[in-house]
Structure 1
Amino acid sequence: MNIIEDWLSQASALVWGPAMLALLLGVGVYLTIGLKALPWRKTPHAFVLLWRGRKSGPEEEGDITAFEALMTALSATIGTGNIAGVATAIFLGGPGAVFWMWMTALFGMATKYAEAVLAVQYREVDELGKYVGGPMYYIKNGLGAKWRWLAAAFALFGTLASFGIGNMVQAHSVADAVESMFHIPDWISGAVMTVFTAFVILGGINRIAYVAAKLVPFMAISYIAGASIIIIADIEKVPSALGLIIDSAFNGTAAAGGFAGAAVWAAIRYGVARGAFSNEAGLGSAPIAQAAAKTTNPVQQGMISMLGTFIDTLVICTMTALVIVMTGAWSSGENGAALSTLAFNTGLPGWGGYIVVFGLVIFAYTTILGWSYYGERCAEFLFGVRVITPYRLLWIGAIPLGAMGKLTVIWALADVMNGLMAIPNLLALGLLSPVLFKLTREYLKPAESDSQPELFDAQPELLTERVRIDEINN
C-alpha cells in the first residue's frame, strides 16, 4: 500500500507541477486577452443576467433555469477548498498564496466563460430527452470524430475523479468535522448523508438543481456573514492584512521556510493550485451543469457561469483568508481545517468553530450532490443512459465507505484524476477559441449600431447555426 501511495504522490506532483499551473494560468490569460477582458468588464451585468435567470421563458431550451445551473455548479465548487484549501495554501505558501489565488480567479473567469459558452453551443439531447454537455461533447462535436478519444479520456478521468474528490473525500470531511466537534460516530454521519443524498440524486438533475438553488445561497450568505462579523470587528487590520498578502506574494514569508526565492515560488505554486482546486476553472466540471441550462444564447450562459469563479474565490475564499491573516492564526503552525477553526475561534470566541463546522458540513454535502451529476454525465458519455441507475446506486453506496474509511490512497488517486481532467479540457478550449471569439463577437455586434437591439438583448437566431472549427479556419 505504501508503494501505491508513493507512486500516486509522485504522479500528483507531476500532474500538478509547474507545467500544469502554467497551462491553467496561460489559457486563462490567452482567453482574457482574446475576449478583450470581457469577463471583467461585464461582471456587473452578469449579475443582472443571473437575477433574470431565476425564471425561464417558454422559448428557452434546457432542463433547469440559468440560476439553477449556476447554483448546481457552485454546489460542487464551494466546498472544503474554501475552508481547508485556503488554510492549506496559506500554511504552505504563506499569505502571498492568497494573491495568486486571486490571479487564478481573475483569469479563471475567462476560462469558466469559455467552458459554458462551448458547453451550451455543442450540447446534445440524450435518449431520455435530457440536455447533456461539457468538455466531452464540445471536444466530440466541435473538434470532430478524430478527437473522440480525447473526449473519452476526459469522461474517464471525470468518472474516476468524481468518486474520490466529489464523494468519499467529502463524506470523510463531514464525518471527521462532526466527530471532532460533536463526538458523533462516523457511521451515523455516513448513514445520515447517505439517506439525504439518495433522496436528492435519485430525482435527477431537476431535484439536484432545486436543492442547490435553496442551499447554496443560504450557506454562502451564512458563511460570509460569520466571517464579516470577525472582519468588521477589527476593520482597522484589513489594510495591513491586504498589504501582507501582496508583499508576501513577491517577497515571500518566513512561514514557507527557506530563502525568499523558495518562499515566493511556494506562494505561487500553492496559490494557483489551491485556487484551481477551489473554483475548478479549467478542470471542465462546471460546464457539465451549465449545458443543462434553459437559455436561448450560449454567450449569456457563459457570462452567468463566470460568476461562479468570482463568488467562490474572490468572495468566499477571500473572506476565509482575511480571517486567517487578520487574527494572526496563519503563523500558528496549524494546517487545513484546524487552521481555519483556530482563526474563527480567535476572532469569534465560542462561536467561530461552529461556523467552520457548519460551513464544512453543508459545503461538502452540496459538493457530493453537484459532483454526482458531473460523474453521471461522464459515465453516460462512455456507456450510454443504461449506466445511470447503477451509477447512482454505486454513488450512494460509496458515501458511508468514505465517511468511515481511511482515504489516503483515494485522495491521492482523485487528485491525479482531477488534474488529468484539465488537460483535455484546456487543449479543447485553445483549439476551439476561434469559435468562442466568433460567438462572442456576433453576440456583441448589435451594440455597434443604435438601430440594433440593446447589447444584452441580442437576437438568439444570430447563434443558432452550429459553428465548426474548420469553418472558422476557412
Structure 2
Amino acid sequence: MNKLNDILSLIDGYIGGSQWFVFLLLGTGIFFTIYLKFPQFRYLKHSIRIVRGKFDKEGDKGDTSHFQALTTALSGTVGTGNIAGVALAIHLGGPAALFWMLVTAALGMTTKFVEVTLSHKYRETAADGSIAGGPMYYMKNRLNLKWLAVIFAIATILSSFGTGNLPQINSISNSLFETFGINHMLTGGVLAVLLGFVIIGGIKRIASVTSRLVPIMALIYFVGAIAVIIYNYENIVPSLVSIFGDVFTGSAAAGGFLGGSIAFAFNRGVNRGLFSNEAGQGSAPIAHAAARAHEPVSEGLVALLEPFIDTIIICTITGLVLLSSGVWTEKMENTFQETDMVVLDGTYSEGNKEDVQQLHNYLVGKADLPLFTGTLNVTNGIIENQPTVLHARSVAEEIKVWMNDQPYTGKIEFDEGNIASGQGVTLTGKSLMHSAPLTTVAFTRSWFGDYGKYIVSIGLLMFAFSTAISWSYYGDRAVTYLWGSNKVIYYHIIYVIGFFLASFTDTTIIWTLSGITIALMTIPNLFGILSLAKEMKREVKSFWQEYANRFPDEKLPKG
C-alpha cells in the first residue's frame, strides 16, 4: 500500500498537486471574471429568480427542473469536501488554506457559469430518449475535437470513482465506525445495496432523491455547526484573524501542528477548494444538461450559485468549527494508518525550536530527514529505545503496539521509515487527526457534547451518499457517450462494487487517487471553455436581450 501510494503521489505531484495546475485553474477563473465583468456578483440576484422558475417557458426541453438540477449538482459537490476536505486542507496548510478555498470558490462561480452554459448549449438526446450533455458534447459538436471529448469522458468515468465514489463511502464508514463502532464492511454493504437501488432509476429518480436530501442535510449540519461556533464564541475573532492573517506568512507551529508554509497553504487550499465545489472540473454541466431550459445561459446562472453555497457558506462554517474549537492543533488517541506514518532515525522534541523547524521543513518538503531502517524491540506493547514517530504530520506520543487486539511483545522490522510488510501489527497513540474524524471531534465541542458527533455522522452520511448518487449519473453519461446507453448497466455494477470495497480501504490512497482524477477531467475542460470565450460572451449578450424583452420593467445588470 505504501509503494502504491508513493506512485500515486508522484503522479499527482506532476498534475493535480503541481503549481501549474493551480495557476491554470485560478487563471481561468480570473480571466472569465474580468472578461465577463464579474458575473458572480452582478448576476447573483437573477440566478435566484431563475431557480424559482422566473425565466421558464412552457415546452422547455429537459428531464428536470432548475431546482432539481441545482440540488443534483449540489449533492455531487456538497460531500466529504465540506466535512473531510476542509479538515484535511487546514491539517496540511493551516488556517490560511481556508482563505484559498474561498478565493477558489469566488472565481469558481464564474468558471461554473461558463462551463454549464456551453455544455447546455450543445447537449443531445440519447438513444433511450434521455438528455445527454457535458463538456464532451461541446468538444465534439463545437470544437470538433473528438479525441479530446474521448479523453474527457474516460477521465469522467475514472473521476466518478476517484471523486464521487471511493472517498465518499470511505469517509462515511470511518465516521460511523468512529461514532457508533459500526464495522466498515457492514456500512459499505448496506449502503451499496441502497446506492444500486437509486441509480438504476436514472436521472429522474436521482433528482427526486437529491432534491429532498440536500435541504434536510444542510439544515442539520448548519444547526450543529453554529452551536459549536457560538459555544466557542471567544475564539471566533482569533480564528478569522488566523485565516486572513496567515495568508502571506504561513501558519506558525501551534500545539501539535508543526506549521504550514505559504506555498503549502495555497496549493492545498486551491486543491481542496476544487474538490469541494468542482468548478472547472466539468462534472456539474452533466447534471445541468438535463434541466428544462431553452436558453443555455439561464442554466449557467443557476450553476453560478453552487460554489457560493457549497464553499463560501458551508466550507467557511466547517472551517470556523475546526478553528474555534481548537481541535486542529490537539493530539488525540488514534489508530495509526501506515500510509500516514513515518519513523525518523533519531529523536526530535517539540520542546526544542531547532527540532520543530527541522520537522516543519521536512513536512513542507523543504528538507529531508534520515528515515529509520532496522529492528525495534517491543515489550508488552511498548517500543524500547523508541525513535521519533510522525503520524498525521505530528510527533506521535504514548505509542503502543498491538497484534490481534493484544499488546505485542517481539520485534518490528522497519524499512526506510515504514513498517516492513507482513508483520500484522497495529500502532496506536496520540497524534493529530484529519479528514472526517477531526470534524467529528470538533462537533462535540458545544452544548451538544458527545451528541455532536452524531450530527457529523448523519450529515456526512447524507452528504456523501448523495454525492455518490450524483456522480454515478456523471459516469453514466460518459459511458453513454463512449459506448451507448446499453452499456450503462455494466458501469453501474462496477460502480456499486467499488463503492463497497472502498468502505474498508486505506483513506490516504483514496484521497491521492482523487487528486489525480480531478486533474484529468479539469485540464481538457479548461482548455475547451477558454477556446470558446468569445462565443460565451455572445451567449450572455443574447440572453440579456431576450430577458429584457420578456421583462421590460425589470432592472438588468449593465454591460
TM, length-normalised to structure 1: 0.90
Paired with 1:273 and 1:377, the residues of 2 have a C-alpha distance of 25
Deviates more, 1:428-437 or 1:166-175: 166-175
Tell me whether 1:239 sits opposite 2:248 in the alignment. Answer: no
Tell me whether 1:440 sits opposite 2:540 in the alignment. Answer: yes
Classify the secondary structure of the residue corresponding to 1:350: helix
Deviates more, 1:429-438 or 1:389-398: 389-398
What aligned pairs does 1:154-303 form with structure 2 within 5 A after superposition? 154-235=152-233, 237-255=235-253, 263-303=261-301
Paired with 1:450 and 1:392, the residues of 2 have a C-alpha distance of 43
Amino acid at match of 2:297: V
Gaps of 5+ in 2: 331-431
User: Equivalent residue for 1:50?
Assistant: 51
Equivalent of residue 453 in structure 2, options 353, 360, 373: 353
Paired with 2:240 and 2:511, the residues of 1 have a C-alpha distance of 32
Does structure 1 retain, via aligned residues, the 8 Å contact 2:174–2:437? no
Paired with 2:52 and 2:445, the residues of 1 have a C-alpha distance of 36
Amino acid at match of 1:206: K
| Structure 1 residues 410 and 247: alpha-carbon distance in aligned structure 2, compared to 1, 3 A threshold | closer
Query: By how many angstroms is 1:96 displaced?
Result: 0.9
Classify the secondary structure of the residue corresponding to 1:10: helix
| Structure 1 residues 446 and 396: alpha-carbon distance in aligned structure 2, compared to 1, 3 A threshold | closer
Does structure 2 retain, via aligned residues, the 8 Å contact 1:168–1:403? yes
Equivalent of residue 437 in structure 2, options 338, 355, 361: 338
Query: By how many angstroms is 1:404 displaced?
Result: 3.2
User: Equivalent residue for 1:101?
Assistant: 101
Amino acid at match of 2:34: I
Structure with the bigger percentage of helix: 1
Query: By how many angstroms is 1:235 displaced?
Result: 4.1
Q: Please list the CA deviations of residues 10-58 of structure 1 after superposition, one character each: whole Å capped at 9, or x if unmatched.
A: 01111121000001100000011111001112212212222227x9653
Q: Please list the CA deviations of residues 186-215 of structure 1 after superposition, one character each: whole Å capped at 9, or x if unmatched.
A: 232122102211221110000000000000
Does structure 1 retain, via aligned residues, the 8 Å contact 2:86–2:315? yes
Query: By how many angstroms is 1:278 displaced?
Result: 0.6
Paired with 2:43 and 2:502, the residues of 1 have a C-alpha distance of 41
Q: Please list the CA deviations of residues 407-445 of structure 1 after superposition, one character each: whole Å capped at 9, or x if unmatched.
A: 655543343122111000000010011111110012223
> RMSD across aligned C-alpha pairs, in angstroms?
2.4
Query: By how many angstroms is 1:76 displaced?
Result: 1.0
Paired with 1:3 and 1:325, the residues of 2 have a C-alpha distance of 34
| Structure 1 residues 259 and 84: alpha-carbon distance in aligned structure 2, compared to 1, 3 A threshold | closer
Q: Please list the CA deviations of residues 288-309 of structure 1 after superposition, one character each: whole Å capped at 9, or x if unmatched.
A: 1010101121111111111111
Paired with 1:407 and 1:401, the residues of 2 have a C-alpha distance of 12
Gaps of 5+ in 1: 458-474
Query: By how many angstroms is 1:175 displaced?
Result: 1.7
User: Equivalent residue for 1:416?
Assistant: 516
Amino acid at match of 1:287: P
Deviates more, 1:68-77 or 1:251-260: 251-260
Query: By how many angstroms is 1:450 displaced?
Result: 11
Paired with 1:436 and 1:20, the residues of 2 have a C-alpha distance of 23
Q: Please list the CA deviations of residues 246-294 of structure 1 after superposition, one character each: whole Å capped at 9, or x if unmatched.
A: 101122211499999x721122111111101111111111111010101
Paired with 2:3 and 2:52, the residues of 1 have a C-alpha distance of 51
Paired with 1:389 and 1:259, the residues of 2 have a C-alpha distance of 48
Query: By how many angstroms is 1:328 displaced?
Result: 1.9
Paired with 1:119 and 1:346, the residues of 2 have a C-alpha distance of 44
Q: Please list the CA deviations of residues 290-346 of structure 1 after superposition, one character each: whole Å capped at 9, or x if unmatched.
A: 101011211111111111110100011000001111122232233222221222212
Does structure 2 retain, via aligned residues, the 8 Å contact 1:446–1:455? no
| Structure 1 residues 48 and 438: alpha-carbon distance in aligned structure 2, compared to 1, 3 A threshold | same
User: Equivalent residue for 1:34?
Assistant: 35
Query: By how many angstroms is 1:138 displaced?
Result: 1.3
Deviates more, 1:133-142 or 1:328-337: 328-337
User: Equivalent residue for 2:148?
Assistant: 150
Classify the secondary structure of the residue corresponding to 1:58: coil
Amino acid at match of 1:245: I
Does structure 1 retain, via aligned residues, the 8 Å contact 2:228–2:445? no
Classify the secondary structure of the residue corresponding to 2:49: helix
| Structure 1 residues 62 and 231: alpha-carbon distance in aligned structure 2, compared to 1, 3 A threshold | same
Amino acid at match of 1:324: L
Does structure 1 retain, via aligned residues, the 8 Å contact 2:217–2:459? yes
Paired with 1:90 and 1:30, the residues of 2 have a C-alpha distance of 28
Paired with 2:551 and 2:323, the residues of 1 have a C-alpha distance of 52
Residue correspondences, number = 453
Paired with 1:42 and 1:330, the residues of 2 have a C-alpha distance of 37
**Greater Rg by CA:** 2
User: Equivalent residue for 1:22?
Assistant: 23
Deviates more, 1:199-208 or 1:135-144: 135-144
Amino acid at match of 1:31: F
Does structure 2 retain, via aligned residues, the 8 Å contact 1:281–1:309? yes
| Structure 1 residues 453 and 380: alpha-carbon distance in aligned structure 2, compared to 1, 3 A threshold | farther
Paired with 1:350 and 1:302, the residues of 2 have a C-alpha distance of 42
Amino acid at match of 2:169: A
Paired with 2:138 and 2:445, the residues of 1 have a C-alpha distance of 48
| Structure 1 residues 327 and 413: alpha-carbon distance in aligned structure 2, compared to 1, 3 A threshold | closer
Paired with 1:342 and 1:407, the residues of 2 have a C-alpha distance of 18
Classify the secondary structure of the residue corresponding to 2:142: helix
Classify the secondary structure of the residue corresponding to 1:105: helix
Equivalent of residue 497 in structure 2, options 388, 394, 397: 397
Does structure 2 retain, via aligned residues, the 8 Å contact 1:105–1:309? yes
Does structure 2 retain, via aligned residues, the 8 Å contact 1:447–1:455? no
More relative contact order, 1 or 2 (CA 8 Å, 6+ apart): 1
Classify the secondary structure of the residue corresponding to 1:249: coil
Paired with 1:270 and 1:194, the residues of 2 have a C-alpha distance of 31
User: Equivalent residue for 2:363?
Assistant: none
| Structure 1 residues 411 and 95: alpha-carbon distance in aligned structure 2, compared to 1, 3 A threshold | closer
User: Equivalent residue for 2:64?
Assistant: 64
Does structure 2 retain, via aligned residues, the 8 Å contact 1:323–1:347? no
Tell me whether 1:426 sits opposite 2:497 in the alignment. Answer: no
User: Equivalent residue for 1:465?
Assistant: none
Q: Please list the CA deviations of residues 357-386 of structure 1 after superposition, one character each: whole Å capped at 9, or x if unmatched.
A: 112211111111010001111111111112
TM, length-normalised to structure 2: 0.77
Amino acid at match of 1:116: V
Q: Identity over aligned residues, as a percent? A: 41
